[in-house]
Structure 1
Amino acid sequence: MTAQPAQSSADDPGEILRLLPAKWHEQFLSECHGALDAAHEVWRFQQLRYVLHLWRLRAVAYADPGFDDALEATREDRADEFVPAEHAISGWSDRLR
């Protein structure tokens, strides 16, 4: 029987780094190392999974070509460039109650 490479997971650090723009690598690696250190205590292992999941979501957003423009629009409060949440997310108004 030959060894097969493990199937890549969405929260795999290598996959996250591959997708993540280079300017975010240092912060990602720093947070990953911190979570890995914490994971030596078994009850804190979930922290590592959380950090990897959060960074996967960030990597998807940060890799989007329009991310920097959208971020700037947010900082400049250009609300007219965004779709209101209640129009984009079904049941949003109910969640606010």
Structure 2
Amino acid sequence: MSAQPVHDDSDPEDPAEILRVLPEKWHSSFLDDYHAALEAAHEVQHWGELRLLLRLWRLRSIAYSNPEFERSLLEASRARPGSGTPVPGLDDWK
């Protein structure tokens, strides 16, 4: 008996997949945006906007599901010019 390769046929931009990855507190925001874009997509010229929305929410779902996201967001919002860690090796470029 030989092992068969596993094929993942899931589409990462499928709304159900986005909801699966997205933390629950973001579900209503996603669904509001999705339903508005879906309604607009009935007009042919807006179809691309639906695809873009799904792509953006897929990326958000990855970020928002990262346990470090909230802490990183808070740190970034408190950062002031000159308070950050310089890029390692930056002085070597001068």
Percentage of pairs with the same residue = 46
Aligned to 2:79: 77
Distance across 1 between alignment mates of 2:47 and 2:10: 20
1:45 counterpart letter in structure 2: W
Aligned to 1:51: 53
Aligned to 2:5: none
Normalised by the length of structure 2, the TM-score is: 0.76
Aligned to 2:26: 24
- Which deviations, in whole Å up to 9, do the C-alpha atoms of 1:14-58 show, x marking residues without a partner? 010000001100000000000000100111100100000000000
Give the drift of 1:80.
Answer: 3.1
Q: Which has the higher contact order (CA 8 A, sep 6+)?
A: 2
For the pair shown, which has the larger CA radius of gyration, 1 or 2? 2
Unaligned runs of at least 5 residues, structure 1: 1-6, 88-97
RMSD: 1.7
Aligned to 2:67: 65
Normalised by the length of structure 1, the TM-score is: 0.74
Unaligned runs of at least 5 residues, structure 2: 1-8
Aligned length: 78
- Name the structure with the higher helix share: 1
